[in-house]
C-alpha cells in the first residue's frame, strides 16, 4: 500500500457539486473482464469503463476510459463487489490490490469481488496528469530545483514558495484543457458509474485508505442513500484537506518515532542501533545526528545512483516515509546506524533498496487532484504561513517534510469543474465504519474523531498499532470487526480498541497468523 504524505480559486464559473446527481452518467452497462495481459498466472483481471469527461453535460460528447482491476471472490461466489482506493492520490491501485488481496478477502468476509478503480489524473490512461511534455523537461526541473525540507535552512521556505509557482505554472501550461476534470467529486461520480455498470444491487461497498477516506467521505456525502458498506481507514481531516490547511497531519508523528526508538531498544537482536542505550538516549542521538548533517552532509556511492549526498532533507524524509510501515523499521534502523557509526556500506545498501522520492508523474497526479480540490488560492507565502508554521511546530521529526504541496496548491490555476461543497454532516443508508491507528505518522487518531463525528450512526474503531492504516500491523480483533461489518452490517461497540499482533522489529506484519485464525471461523 502506498499511502504517500497527505499535504495539499474558488471561481465564479465553477459548477459546485451538491449531493444531487448531474445530468450525465456512464452509458456503458456491464463490464468485460479479462485476464491482465502480463498477469497470466495470477487472479488479477483488467477492464476499462467509458465514462463522461464532464458529468455536467457541457462537453457531452467527450469521454474518458477508467482503468479497473479486479480480484474475483474465491470460487466465484460473490455477494457483490467492494471498490477500493489505497490513497495518494495516485497510489498504485493495481499493485496494492495484488499485494493485499488475501488480507482484504479475509477481512471482508471472503465472498466479495475486490475492485481497484484508478482515479482520474493517475495511472496510465485515465486523464493522466503530467506537468511536462517530456521526461527530459521534468528531470531538468527536478535537478535544477532540488527541493529542501522547510526547516533545512533559513531560506528554504522562500525557495519552496518560488519553485512552487514554477510547478503550478508548468501544470497549467500542459493541463489547461482537461486538468479541471480530475477532482475528487468527479472521481466519486466515476465510482458510482462503476457501481451502475456492475449491474449488481446498485449499492456501493467501499474501503478507502488515507486519501481514500477523502474520496469515501465525498462519496458518502454525495450518495448517502447508496452506501451499503463503507470502511474509512487512516482518516484524513477532510475539512482541512479541502481548505488546503492540513495542520493536523503530523500531530502524532513524534509519538510514532518514539515508538520506533522504544521498539528498537526492546529488540537488540534485530535492532543493533538500540544496543547499550535507552529509548530517550537513542532518540536524542538521532536528532543530534540530523542536526549535524544539516551543516555537514554525508556522502556515499550508491549502486546504480552513483555518488549521493545524504543531507538533512534526505534523512528526515526517509524516516517519516518509513514510519508508515513498521515492517520496514529494521531496514530504517540499519540506515540510521550506518549514519551514526560511519558505515557507508550500510547507508548505500539502504538507499539502493528504496526510492528516494516519488516519481515525477506520481507527484504531479497528487497536485492535479489535491490542488484542484482546494477552495482557496493565496498570493503570498505569508497567507499560508500559519498552516506551515503550525505543522512544523507540531512535529520535530516530520513537521516540515511536506511543505511543498500546499504551496503548489496556493498558486493553482486549474480550479476543478466540480467540487463537493456540503458540510459533511451525513446520514448514510448504512452507518460508516471508521478505523484509526493509535500511532499513525500522517493521519492521526484525532482526525478520525473529527471526521467521524459528522457521520450519523458511525463508529470509530481504534486500531492500537503503529503505521499508516490498519493493514500495516495485523489485529485479529480489527479483522473480526471488519468481517462482521461486511457480512451483516454489524458495527463494533463504541470506543472499541483492538490490540495488534506481533512485536515491532520482528520484520513481520502478523497477517499470516490472523488470516489463519479467521479461516478457522
Please list, in sequence order, all residues whose beta carbon lies within 8 angstroms of the beta carbon of residue 402, skipping any fewer than 6 positions away.
5, 7, 249, 250, 391
Asked whether the beta carbons of 353 and 305 are under 8 A apart, the reply is no
Q: Is residue 122 located within the same domain as residue 139?
A: no
Asked whether the beta carbons of 184 and 218 are under 8 A apart, the reply is yes
Q: Is residue 305 located within the same domain as residue 385?
A: yes
Please list, in sequence order, all residues whose beta carbon lies within 8 angstroms of the beta carbon of residue 75, skipping any fewer than 6 positions away.
none
Q: Is residue 329 located within the same domain as residue 263?
A: yes
Phi, psi of 144 (to 5 degrees): -70, -40
Number of domains in the chain: 2
Instruction: State the cell numbers at 359.
Output: 516519481
Q: Is residue 437 located within the same domain as residue 502?
A: yes
Q: Is residue 108 located within the same domain as residue 160?
A: no
Q: Which domain holds residue 500?
A: 34-128+181-242+425-518
Q: Is residue 168 located within the same domain as residue 278?
A: yes
In a domain, 89, yes or no: yes
pLDDT of residue 193: 96
**Does residue 447 come out as left (phi exceeding 0), alpha (psi in the -120 to 50 range) or beta?**
alpha
pLDDT of residue 142: 64
Q: Is residue 122 located within the same domain as residue 169?
A: no
pLDDT by 10s per residue, the chain, length 521? 444 343 332 222 223 333 334 444 544 567 999 998 877 778 899 999 999 999 987 776 889 999 999 999 987 788 899 999 999 887 788 888 988 999 999 999 999 999 999 998 887 767 788 888 887 877 777 655 567 788 788 888 888 888 899 999 999 999 988 899 999 999 999 999 999 999 899 999 999 999 999 999 999 999 999 999 999 999 999 999 999 999 999 999 999 999 999 999 999 999 999 999 999 999 999 999 999 999 999 999 998 888 999 999 999 999 999 999 999 999 999 999 999 999 999 999 999 988 544 555 567 888 999 999 998 777 777 888 888 889 899 999 999 888 999 999 999 999 899 999 888 999 999 999 999 999 999 999 999 999 999 999 999 999 999 999 999 999 999 999 999 999 999 999 999 999 999 789 999 999 999 999 988 66
Phi, psi of 188 (to 5 degrees): -60, -40
Q: Is residue 442 located within the same domain as residue 480?
A: yes
pLDDT of residue 145: 56
Q: Is residue 283 located within the same domain as residue 350?
A: yes
Query: How far apart are alpha carbons 25 and 189 in whole angstroms?
Result: 8
Helices 156-175 and 135-144 sit at what angle, rounded to 10 degrees?
170
- The single residue listed with the C-alpha cell 471498490 is 83
Asked whether the beta carbons of 308 and 301 are under 8 A apart, the reply is yes
Whole-structure pTM value? 0.91
Asked whether the beta carbons of 272 and 513 are under 8 A apart, the reply is no
Instruction: State the cell numbers at 396.
Output: 520535530
Q: Is 154 exposed, middle or buried (0-12, 13-18, 19+ CB in 10 A)?
A: exposed
In a domain, 28, yes or no: no
pLDDT of residue 305: 81
Query: How far apart are alpha carbons 483 and 473 in whole angstroms?
Result: 17
In a domain, 399, yes or no: yes
Say how many CA atoms lie within 13 Å of 521 toward its Cβ.
14
CATH of the domain at 57: 3.40.50.1820
Ordered DSSP codes for 85-118: E-STTT--HHHHHHHHHHHHHHHTTS-SEEEEEP
Instruction: State the cell numbers at 66.
Output: 477508467
Q: Is residue 61 located within the same domain as residue 146?
A: no
Asked whether the beta carbons of 420 and 188 are under 8 A apart, the reply is yes
Q: Let me know how long the chain is.
A: 521
Q: Is residue 499 located within the same domain as residue 444?
A: yes
Chain-centre distance for alpha carbon 355: 16
List helix spans (H) across 342-416. 344-353, 360-366, 372-373, 381-394, 404-410
Q: Is residue 200 located within the same domain as residue 296?
A: no
Amino acid at each position: 500500500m502506498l499511502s504517500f504524505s497527505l499535504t495539499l480559486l474558488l471561481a465564479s464559473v465553477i459548477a459546485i457539486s451538491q449531493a444531487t446527481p448531474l445530468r450525465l452518467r456512464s452509458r456503458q452497462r456491464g463490464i468485460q473482464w479479462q485476464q491482465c495481459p502480463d498477469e497470466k498466472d495470477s487472479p488479477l483481471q483488467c477492464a476499462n469503463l467509458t465514462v463522461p469527461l464532464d458529468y455536467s453535460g457541457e462537453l457531452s460528447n467527450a469521454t474518458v476510459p477508467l482503468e479497473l482491476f479486479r480480484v474475483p471472490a474465491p470460487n466465484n461466489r460473490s455477494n457483490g463487489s467492494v471498490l477500493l482506493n489505497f490513497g495518494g492520490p495516485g497510489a498504485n491501485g493495481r499493485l496494492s490490490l495484488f499485494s493485499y488481496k488475501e488480507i482484504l478477502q479475509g477481512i471482508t468476509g471472503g465472498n466479495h469481488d475486490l475492485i481497484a478503480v484508478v482515479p482520474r489524473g493517475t495511472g496510465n490512461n485515465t486523464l493522466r496528469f503530467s506537468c511536462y511534455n517530456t521526461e527530459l523537461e521534468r528531470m531538468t526541473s527536478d535537478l535544477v530545483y532540488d527541493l529542501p525540507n522547510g526547516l533545512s535552512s533559513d531560506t528554504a521556505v522562500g525557495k519552496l514558495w518560488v519553485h512552487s509557482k514554477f510547478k503550478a505554472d508548468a501544470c497549467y501550461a500542459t493541463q489547461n484543457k482537461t486538468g479541471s476534470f480530475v477532482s475528487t467529486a468527479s472521481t466519486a461520480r466515476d465510482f458510482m458509474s462503476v457501481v451502475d455498470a456492475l449491474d449488481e444491487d446498485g449499492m456501493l461497498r467501499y474501503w478507502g485508505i488515507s486519501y481514500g477516506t477523502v474520496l469515501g467521505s465525498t462519496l458518502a456525502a454525495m450518495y448517502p442513500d447508496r452506501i451499503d458498506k463503507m470502511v474509512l481507514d487512516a482518516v484524513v481531516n477532510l475539512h482541512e484537506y479541502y481548505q488546503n490547511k492540513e495542520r493536523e497531519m503530523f500531530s502524532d508523528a513524534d509519538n510514532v518515532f518514539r515508538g520506533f526508538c522504544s521498539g528498537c531498544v526492546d529488540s537488540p537482536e534485530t535492532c543493533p542501533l538500540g544496543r547499550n542505550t535507552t529509548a530517550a538516549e537513542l532518540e536524542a542521538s538521532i536528532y543530534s545526528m540530523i542536526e549535524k548533517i544539516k551543516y555537514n552532509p554525508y556522502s556515499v556511492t550508491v549502486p546504480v545512483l552513483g555518488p549521493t549526498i545524504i543531507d538533512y532533507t534526505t534523512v528526515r524524509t526517509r524516516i517519516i516515509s518509513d514510519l508508515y510501515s513498521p515492517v520496514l523499521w529494521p531496514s530504517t534502523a540499519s540506515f540510521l546506524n550506518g549514519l551514526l557509526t560511519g558505515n557507508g556500506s550500510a547507508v548505500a545498501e539502504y538507499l539502493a533498496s528504496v526510492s528516494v522520492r516519488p516519481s515525477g508523474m506520481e507527484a504531479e497526479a497528487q497536485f492535479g487532484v489535491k490542488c484542484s480540490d482546494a477552495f482557496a488560492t493565496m498570493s503570498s507565502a505569508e497567507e499560508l504561513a500559519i498552516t506551515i508554521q503550525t505543522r512544523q511546530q507540531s512535529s520535530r521529526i516530520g513537521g516540515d517534510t511536506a511543505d511543498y504541496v500546499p504551496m503548489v496548491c496556493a498558486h493553482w490555476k486549474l480550479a476543478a469543474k466540480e467540487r463537493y461543497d456540503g458540510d459533511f454532516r451525513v446520514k448514510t443508508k448504512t452507518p460508516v465504519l471508521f478505523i484509526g491507528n493509535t500511532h499513525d505518522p500522517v493521519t492521526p487518531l484525532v482526525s478520525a474523531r473529527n471526521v467521524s463525528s459528522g457521520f450519523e450512526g458511525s463508529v470509530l474503531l481504534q486500531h492500537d498499532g503503529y503505521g499508516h492504516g490498519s493493514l500495516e500491523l495485523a489485529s485479529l480483533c480489527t479483522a473480526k470487526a471488519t468481517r462482521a461489518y461486511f457480512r451483516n452490517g454489524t458495527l463494533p461497540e463504541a470506543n472499541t480498541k483492538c490490540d495488534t499482533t506481533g512485536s515491532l522489529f520482528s520484520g513481520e506484519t502478523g497477517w499470516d497468523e490472523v488470516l489463519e485464525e479467521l479461516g478457522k471461523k
